[in-house]
Structure 1
Amino acid sequence: MTAQLVAYEHLTAVQCLQVEAIEVLPHQLRFAGDIHGALHMLLSRPCPGVKGFALLADDVPVAFLLLKRPPALPAWADEHSATLHALQVDHRAQGKGHGKACLRALPAVAQAAWPEIRGLELSVDASNESAIGLYTRLGWVDSGEAYKGLVGYERRMGLVL
């Protein structure tokens, strides 16, 4: 199986419809939201500071994520970074390494989109141990800072490019 992270604007019409069908498990909604919210953020008010990417496995979208830069960068992020949001792997494709594939491909696509960035950042719910473990194994570093998020305490993690 081949997997590649592709900018949303480069997807075919059929692939865009397949992205709309991505679903996460109910208990994951509090961490990543749903695909409709992510696509709304991307498409409702197009902005050069928000880009969407789909992970294609054999040309079929199995995961989706958003990256943000100014003017859409969250207040907690460094101005020289891009931030990761709404990483969602379709529940029918979970457990096959697709989340890891997204994260491994992310630095290259982020730098291609915004060559000036120096790092990637994300905010993760402090209780989401599986996500924190995955990010850590792939080189992301916990900043040691926690803050009160919408659901609970959030940890900030970064990856230097």
Structure 2
Amino acid sequence: MGNVSIVKLEHFEDKFLNELENFDLPKEQIQFSALPKDILNTTDGQYRIVITNNGQAVGFFLLHTTDKVKNYSSNPNALLLTALTVDHKYQGKGFAKKGMLALPHFVKEFFPSYNEIVLVVNEKNFHAQALYKKVGFNDTGERKIGPIGKQILMSLSIE
């Protein structure tokens, strides 16, 4: 039996800072996301969420409750997910998938008035699209033009 992996979503704390600042991504992935160290300074309505494996930061993303959400959903109770990243050395181990599967429960616990998560994913970012579909996000059919091309708008209902 190998080590049991306990993957959780946690609100950012300073104890994760060093790990997050040392995240690394290959060039072909950086174009689609952002390194945590570049987006750790947030404003009101932006929440830094850390994907942990046995307490170690392995992934990171932002949830937004700001007016920016209105660009992606007419639902006043929607959250916007951006900048999902898994440190390169932890990729391919299912951490992003486990983190995203934990998201509905996490939202119910910490953002109980929200019932939808929306995100945009670049149409060339096939890995991310496959991940989001696997964990229940649906392609809304809407497209946005992003900084590096067309983006697919996806949505996940929180029951």
TM-score, normalised via structure 2 length? 0.89
Which residue is equivalent to 1:60? 56
**Which residue of 2 is the match for residue 76 of structure 1?**
72
* Pick aligned residue for 1:122 from 115, 119, 127: 119
Gaps of 5+ in 1: none
The CA distance in 1 between the partners of 2:102 and 2:8, in whole Å, is: 7
Post-superposition, which runs of at least 4 consecutive aligned residues in structure 1 deviate over 3 A? none
Matched, 1:109 2:106: yes
2:38 maps to which residue?
37
Q: Aligned match of 2:144 in 132, 147, 156?
A: 147
Match of 2:11 in 1: 7
Secondary structure at the counterpart of residue 96 of structure 1:
coil
Q: How many pairs are equivalent?
A: 153
Counterpart of 1:151, as a letter, is: I
Name stretches of at least 5 consecutive residues in structure 2 with no aligned partner.
Answer: none
Q: What letter matches 1:93 in structure 2?
A: Y
Instruction: State the Cα distance separating 1:74 from its structure 2 match.
Output: 5.2
Q: Secondary structure at the match of 1:73?
A: helix
Identity of matched residues, %: 25
The equivalent of 2:82 in structure 1 is: 85
Equivalence for 2:154: 157
Cα pair 1:3 1:58 within 8 Å, conserved: yes
Cα drift, residue 98 of structure 1: 0.7
Q: Distance in 1 between matches of 2:8 and 2:108?
A: 15
Q: Deviations over 1:6-29 (max 9, x none)?
A: 001xx3x43222122122221111
Structure 1 residues 77 and 30: CA distance shift in structure 2, 3 A: farther
Structure 1 SS opposite 2:32: helix
Distance 2:89 2:126 in 1: 21
Task: Provide the aligned C-alpha RMSD in A.
Answer: 1.5
